[in-house]
Amino acid sequence: MNEIQILTVEMGEEVGLPYFPEGIRAGFPSPATDYEEASIDLNKELVRHREATFYARVKGDSMIDAGFHPGDIVIIDRSLEPQDGDVVIAWVDGGFTIKELDLSELEEGIVRLVPHNEAYERITITREQTNMIWGVVTYCIHQSSRTR
C-alpha cells in the first residue's frame, strides 16, 4: 500500500514564477515564437477550494502504471464528490492510500480501490467497514526522470 503524507495548502503572498503562455512545443520548435515570458502562481492555477485542498507526496509504486511515481506531489480536493474512475486518497486499515475508485458494484454495497501495478491486489470495501474516501486527486506534479 502507498503511504501518503498529507500537508495543508498555505496561501500567502503570490509567488509569480516564469511562465510561457504560448506553451512549449513537443515537436519541432517554431522560429516565429517570441520568447515572451509571463508570470504564473501555481496556487491560483491548481487550487480551487483552498480550505479543502491538501498536498501529499506519493510513496510506493501501486499507481506507477497510471503515472503516479514515488516522490510525485498530488493535489487533493476534499470538497469534490468522488466519481467512478477518479483517483482518490482513501483511509484504509489505519493509513492513507492512493488508488482509482471503482463504483461499478456500489448498488451491492461494494466499493473497490484499484491499483495500477500488477503486483498489487484490488482493495474491496463493504458497507460494514469503516474505511473512507478522504479526497479526490485533481493534479499530480510529476518529477522528471532526471530528478528522481
CATH number for the domain harbouring residue 71:
2.10.109.10
Lowest-pLDDT range of 13-17, 22-26, 81-85, 143-147:
13-17
Domain enclosing residue 57, as ranges: 3-13+51-147
Sign of the CA dihedral with 34 first, then 35, 41, and 43 last: positive
62 catalytic residue (yes or no): yes
| Over residues 36-45, mean pLDDT | 64
For residue 110, is it within any domain? yes
Mean pLDDT of the chain: 79
How many residues comprise the chain? 148
- Tell me the C-alpha distance between 11 and 65, whole Å: 32
Q: Which of 39, 44, 59, 62 is catalytic?
A: 62
Reported as type and span, the H/E element at residue 4 is: strand 3-8
pLDDT score at 81: 93
Q: Find, among 105, 76, 71, 111, the residue nearest to 92 by Cα.
A: 111
For residue 65, is it within any domain? yes
| Over residues 6-23, mean pLDDT | 55
For residue 44, is it within any domain? no
30 catalytic residue (yes or no): no
Q: Which of 44, 79, 99, 104 is catalytic?
A: 99
For residue 102, give the C-alpha cell. 471503482
| Count of domains for the chain | 1
For residue 33, is it within any domain? no
Q: What is the pLDDT of residues 61-89, one digit of tens each?
A: 999 999 999 989 888 899 999 999 999 99
